[in-house]
Amino acid sequence: MRVAVVTGASRGIGKACAKRLAADGDIVVINYSHSEEQAQAVLDDIRENGGDGMLFRADVSKLDEVKAMMRATIQAYSQIDILVNNAGIVKDAYLLMLDPKNLDYCMDVNVKGYFYCAQQATLKMFRKKKGVIINMSSVSAQMALAGQSVYSATKGAVNAMTKTMAKELAPYGIRVNAIAPGFIETEMIDALSDEMRAEYLKSIPLGRFGKAEEVASLVSLLCSDRMAYMTGQTLVLDGGLSL
């Protein structure tokens, strides 16, 4: 049995990852920061399908809350085998309109939050000398989308941290990889106007947005021993958008 902590699992990609890992037989810790009802619905769904896990409310940008989450996971299940660093936010703004508060907020959640969770989960993974960390990045790290300089910078940081963490943690049996999705049908892209959606669709060679379940399939594969020799990589999953 493996224990997986999935951050930002109350909806979207995180929810799909939690459900997929539970279907793979993993116990899942469903993290959220505000959406308790949605997170509970994810756990109920997992239980109805024969899986198990628990909810944990923690703002990943707060180190003490992340520590409490990892501690509670160890108290409940005695181990952490998988961390999916997924909780992320987007606050698009053109450079000249940048609000310093939003800049801090994005850095705190999308960058510091990933470090805090990776550090605290790793401390628990050391016991077994085995573990997997998946960092949710974005194709925005390598493609320039106007208004996304902050978001793309945070995701560039995720790609860079993934490589270095992978090198540091390999001797301890911990693999670290990132996934860079393109446009995935979640609430994060619901904010797009119909015009923008149509425009973006034209630029995707496969002609559609991706599904959260497709990202979850890749998470599942990267967590499996079939990928035991893969570490430090960022895998792009974007229907060809970045080609």
Asked if 11 is part of the footprint of ligand NAP (rule: CB under 6 A), the reply reads: yes
Mark whether 172 is an active-site residue.
no
Beta carbon of residue 99, minimum distance to ligand NAP (angstroms, whole number): 17
- Regarding 10 and contact with ligand NAP (CB under 6 A), the answer is yes
Residue that has been written with the tokens 């996971």 in this structure:
73
Q: Does 157 bind ligand NAP (CB under 6 A)?
A: no
Q: Please, which residue, 166 or 219, has the CB nearer to ligand NAP?
A: 219
Q: Burial-class residue 150 by CB neighbours within 10 Å (0-12, 13-18, 19+).
A: buried
Q: Does 116 engage in binding with ligand NAP (CB under 6 A)? A: no
Nearest in space to 132 (alpha carbons), one of 182, 160, 171, 173: 173
Residue type, 111: V
Piece in contact with ligand NAP (CB under 6 A), picked from 32-40, 76-84, 196-204, 219-227:
32-40
Q: Please return the burial class of 187, using the count of CB atoms within 10 Å of its CB with bins 0-12, 13-18 and 19+.
A: exposed
| Residue 115 near residue 161, CB atoms below 8 Å | yes
DSSP 50: T
- Is residue 122 close enough to count as binding ligand NAP by CB under 6 A? no
CB of 138 to ligand NAP, least distance (A): 4
Residue 34 or 226 having the CB closest to ligand NAP = 34
Listed ranges 41-49, 80-88, 95-103, 199-207: which one lies at the site for ligand NAP (CB under 6 A): 80-88
136 contacts ligand NAP (rule: CB under 6 A):
yes
Choosing from 41, 89, 230, 235, the residue that interacts with ligand NAP (CB under 6 A) is 89
Name residue 53's beta-bridge partners: 28
Q: Which is nearer to ligand NAP, 10 or 122 (CB)?
A: 10
* CB atoms closer than 10 angstroms to residue 234: 20
**Sheet (strand 3-6) strand order:** 53-57, 27-32, 3-6, 82-85, 131-136, 174-181, 234-237
Q: How far apart are CA 31 and CA 41, in angstroms?
A: 13
For residue 197, give both structure tokens: 């959606």
| Between 87 and 166, CB nearer to ligand NAP | 87
Task: Establish if 59 lies at the interface with ligand NAP (CB under 6 A).
Answer: yes
With tokens 């619901």, the residue in question is 190
Instruction: Identify which of residues 23 and 188 has a Cβ nearer to ligand NAP in the complex.
Output: 188
Residue 234 binding ligand NAP, by CB under 6 A: no
**Catalytic sites, residue numbers:** 151
Q: Which parts of this chain interact with ligand NAP (CB under 6 A)?
A: 7-14, 31-35, 59-61, 86-89, 109, 136, 138, 181, 183-184, 186-189
